[in-house]
């Protein structure tokens, strides 16, 4: 039984911006597939990653230089940011 995952509006906007960038390179489908794989992993094993800052855990994409920044609550993971790993946050 997996956790529910909620994505905050800021994270959804960041995902959309990244998707648009990769669409211009012809890589939108690959990017979204990578995101979907990481989302599935997050749902099944949300505690797999150590807390990095202010309760935030970081899950890296497999193929792309992006990461999901999230917190784990009782039965839910909340995605706060989806960042390029080279960008400041």
Is the pLDDT assigned to residue 87 strictly greater than 80? no
Q: What is the percentage of the chain residues whose pLDDT exceeds 90? A: 79
pTM: 0.89
What digits encode the pLDDT tens for the residues 37-77? 999 999 998 888 889 999 999 999 999 999 999 999 888 99
What single-letter DSSP state applies at residue 73? Answer: -
As a whole number, mean pLDDT of residues 4-13 equals: 95
Q: How confident is the model at residue 85 (pLDDT cuts 50, 70, 90)?
A: confident
Question: Quick check: 43 and 2 in contact, CB under 8 A?
Answer: yes
Asked if residue 68 lies in contact with residue 79, where contact means CB atoms within 8 angstroms, the answer is yes
Q: What is the rounded distance in angstroms from the CA atom of residue 70 to the CA atom of residue 54?
A: 10
Cα–Cα distance between 38 and 69 in angstroms, integer?
A: 12
Contact (Cβ atoms closer than 8 angstroms) between residue 89 and residue 81: yes
Q: What is residue 88's predicted lDDT score, i.e. its pLDDT?
A: 55
């Amino acid at each position: 039984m997996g956790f529910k995952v909620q994505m905050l509006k800021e994270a959804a906007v960041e995902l959309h911006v990244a998707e648009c960038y990769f669409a211009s390179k012809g890589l939108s489908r690959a990017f979204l597939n990578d995101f979907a794989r990481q989302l599935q992993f997050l749902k099944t094993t949300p505690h797999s990653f150590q807390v990095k800052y202010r309760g935030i855990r970081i899950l890296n994409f497999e193929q792309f230089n992006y990461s999901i920044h999230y917190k784990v609550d009782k039965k839910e993971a909340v995605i706060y940011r989806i960042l390029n790993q080279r960008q400041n946050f």
